[in-house]
């Protein structure tokens, strides 16, 4: 059995970033990954814009709804309910290999090629020094790492009131995509009330998105086809699979899909890794000098607890509480929508009450079209015939505002590994998550302020939807960073090394000891790069 320099577990935003850093520095890298791919729907999607497809394509029901109608939601609201058929691959095999029990927390994990990054909303933010320190990260190192990650993925954005929170300190930013007329209305209203809203702590601006508006690094600019949730045709939107596919062309990089890593064990200066072939459940073994875990906060927690046979200890974790407010901009209802547009975030609204860029709340605003009207109809408390007339009229003025709140550790947020004989690994994760009274009060108060501010911006909230704990899909903190071996068995030192090991490192968000509300992915990628960079020094 050959011994690789590094084995990277997972191909998501962190795994791809760590692997790129390692491979570019000449290390021999093996990536083990669930590797589930959409081999059907994206290929069916014509390279035309949304309206033309709707007018002409007889087969559109296949990629809009799915051959088994898997994209038509059943039952109540859940994480992933909005996934289109091509993005449903994100959840493929998850129920089987990543089972969980919970009293109300619904995590979203993935075994897809590119992990959860296959459906990432592309939002990029930089954490402030306060937030980085609270998360256990070094601001001086992270600033450079943000630039590296941004240069690899390509980011578009605008210098405005949101810049401090989105791409402050990062160069090479491309211009934003054109603003949707409905959000332009909100933006103009903000410009008129700017000083007053700033005094209240609110800052509105364009999001920084990992979406190219100019050709870059052999990738095309977005064609604004409004098919963002269905295909990655131009590679304008950065997805982890783009990076991993390029790495596969390098002689020092090897990718092994359908691999579900179950155990690791250190022995005589190397790490032995055991995986299951996801099709046959055959056991495979691999060896490396150093192991880099990047299978997501919960995936890594499973792997560490299982490898150590720990079915007793609770691990902490963090997850942004998430609420969305469907809003209506009255001036924009009953209007047509532009053909050229994107479904990604149009605006971001930060709440920074003391103007210190700490404990900032974050909201992203989306206009709605390509996810289809029927998904909205089911949420309207009217008969569907009348709801259709009503929502069709509102649609052009409809804005969905998703609010993320920061999260901190508390005894009410824990997980542990439990036995589950039915699963291929014989175990499952048991989650317990609740906000305490103080946290809930803060969330409620913040959401009231957001609703009030949105009304000032002429975006009128019509409902408050709390899709449930876990729906933010931002998770960190299972193996918190700690200085020195402080008695915590399951923790990381600041370099990302797992306590009690010499050669096992974690490159995902497991170590973060605080979870800011801002978009998390760029910070995860920057940290992954740093972990990998330290390993190659």
Partner 1 sequence: MNQLGTAASREAQILSRYLLGRTADRQTCELYEKATASFTRGTAARDERIATFAITHPWSLAPLDGALALVNPHSVLRQKLLIAAAILEACPAYYDAFLSQERSKAYLLTVMFVLIRAACRAVLGLLLLRYIR
Q: Which residues pair with 418 in a beta bridge?
A: 428
Does 251 interact with partner 1 (rule: CB under 8 A)?
no
Does 390 interact with partner 1 (rule: CB under 8 A)?
yes
Does 523 interact with partner 1 (rule: CB under 8 A)?
no
**Is 225 in contact with 51 (CB distance < 8 Å)?**
no
**Least distance from partner 1 to the Cβ atom of residue 440, Å:** 26
Name the strand (E) or helix (H) holding 291. strand 283-293
* Residue number with CB closer to partner 1 (373 or 451): 373
Kindly calculate the radius of gyration of the chain based on its CA atoms and give it in whole angstroms. 22
d(C-alpha 226, C-alpha 300), whole Å: 35
Does 463 interact with partner 1 (rule: CB under 8 A)?
no
Name the strand (E) or helix (H) holding 449. helix 437-456
Q: Kindly state the number of chain residues that form the binding site for partner 1, as judged by CB under 8 A.
A: 41
Does 389 interact with partner 1 (rule: CB under 8 A)?
yes
Q: Which of 372, 400, 418, 489 binds partner 1 (CB under 8 A)?
A: 372
* Residue number with CB closer to partner 1 (14 or 84): 84
What is the CB neighbour count within 10 angstroms for residue 503? 18
- Which pair of tokens denotes residue 127? 């954490």
Does 384 interact with partner 1 (rule: CB under 8 A)?
yes
* Residue number with CB closer to partner 1 (388 or 489): 388
Q: Which residues pair with 277 in a beta bridge?
A: 259
User: Quick one: how far is CA 504 from the chain centroid?
Assistant: 24
Q: Which of 3, 48, 72, 449 binds partner 1 (CB under 8 A)?
A: 72
Q: How do strand 283-293 and strand 3-9 relate by DSSP bridges?
A: parallel
Q: Which of 25, 40, 48, 60 binds partner 1 (CB under 8 A)?
A: 60
Q: Which of 8, 19, 64, 145 binds partner 1 (CB under 8 A)?
A: 64
- Which pair of tokens denotes residue 306? 């299982």
Does 462 interact with partner 1 (rule: CB under 8 A)?
no
Backbone angles phi, psi at 454, to 5 degrees: -60, -40
Q: How do strand 398-404 and strand 361-367 relate by DSSP bridges?
A: antiparallel
- Which pair of tokens denotes residue 470? 């876990």
CA atoms within 13 A on the CB side of 39: 4
**Least distance from partner 1 to the Cβ atom of residue 72, Å:** 5
**Least distance from partner 1 to the Cβ atom of residue 58, Å:** 6
Q: Which of residues 39-58 bind partner 1 (CB under 8 A)?
A: 51, 54-58
**Least distance from partner 1 to the Cβ atom of residue 333, Å:** 8
Does 460 interact with partner 1 (rule: CB under 8 A)?
no
**Least distance from partner 1 to the Cβ atom of residue 156, Å:** 26
Name which of 465, 430, 522, 527 is nearest 135 in CA terms. Answer: 527
The footprint of partner 1 (CB under 8 A) covers 51, 54-58, 60-61, 64-65, 68-69, 72, 74-76, 334-337, 369, 372-374, 377-378, 380-390, 392-393, 395-396
């Amino acid at each position: 059995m050959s011994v690789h320099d590094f084995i990277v577990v997972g191909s998501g935003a962190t795994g791809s970033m760590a692997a790129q850093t390692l491979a570019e520095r000449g290390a021999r890298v093996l990536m083990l990954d669930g590797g589930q791919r959409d081999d059907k729907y994206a290929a069916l999607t014509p390279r035309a814009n949304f309206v033309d497809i709707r007018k002409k394509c007889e087969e559109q029901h296949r990629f809009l709804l799915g051959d088994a109608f898997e994209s038509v939601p059943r039952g109540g609201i859940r994480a992933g309910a909005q996934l289109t058929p091509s993005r449903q691959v994100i959840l493929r095999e998850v129920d089987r290999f990543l089972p969980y029990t919970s009293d109300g927390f619904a995590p979203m994990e993935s075994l897809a090629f590119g992990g959860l990054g296959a459906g990432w909303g592309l939002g990029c933010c930089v954490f402030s020094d306060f937030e980085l320190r609270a998360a256990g990260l070094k601001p001086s190192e992270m600033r450079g790492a943000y630039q590296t990650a941004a240069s690899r993925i390509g980011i578009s954005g605008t210098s405005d009131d949101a810049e401090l929170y989105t791409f402050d300190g990062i160069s090479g930013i491309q211009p934003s995509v054109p603003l949707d007329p409905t959000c332009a209305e909100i933006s103009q209203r903000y410009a008129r009330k700017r000083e007053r809203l700033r005094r209240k702590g609110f800052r509105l601006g364009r999001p920084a998105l990992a979406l190219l508006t100019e050709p870059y690094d052999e990738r095309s600019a977005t064609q604004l086809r409004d098919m963002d949730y269905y295909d990655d045709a131009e590679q304008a939107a950065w997805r982890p699979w783009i990076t991993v596919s390029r790495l596969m062309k390098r002689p020092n990089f090897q990718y092994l899909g359908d691999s579900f890593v179950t155990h690791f064990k250190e022995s005589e200066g190397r790490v032995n890794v055991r995986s299951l072939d996801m099709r046959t459940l055959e056991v495979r073994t691999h060896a490396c000098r150093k192991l880099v875990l990047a299978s997501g906060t919960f995936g890594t927690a499973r792997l560490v607890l299982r490898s150590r046979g720990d079915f007793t200890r609770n691990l902490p974790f963090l997850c942004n509480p998430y609420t969305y407010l469907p809003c209506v901009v009255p001036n924009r209802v009953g209007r047509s929508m532009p053909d050229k547009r994107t479904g990604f975030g149009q605006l971001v609204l930060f709440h920074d009450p003391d103007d210190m860029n700490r404990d900032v709340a974050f909201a992203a605003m989306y206009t709605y079209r390509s996810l289809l009207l029927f998904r909205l109809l089911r949420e309207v408390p009217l008969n569907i015939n009348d709801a259709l007339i009503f929502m069709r009229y509102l649609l052009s003025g409809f804005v969905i505002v998703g609010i993320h709140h920061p999260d901190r550790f508390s005894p009410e947020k824990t997980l542990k590994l439990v036995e589950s004989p039915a699963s291929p690994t014989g175990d499952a994760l048991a989650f317990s998550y609740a906000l305490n009274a103080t946290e809930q009060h803060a969330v409620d108060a913040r959401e009231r302020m957001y609703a009030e501010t949105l009304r000032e911006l002429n975006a009128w909230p019509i409902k408050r939807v709390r899709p449930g704990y876990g729906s933010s899909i931002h998770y960190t903190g299972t193996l918190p960073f700690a200085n020195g071996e402080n008695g915590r068995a399951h923790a990381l030192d600041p370099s990302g090394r797992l306590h009690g090991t010499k050669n096992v490192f974690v490159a995902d968000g497991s170590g973060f000891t605080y979870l800011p509300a801002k978009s998390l992915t760029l910070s995860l990628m920057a940290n992954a790069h740093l972990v990998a960079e330290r390993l190659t020094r």
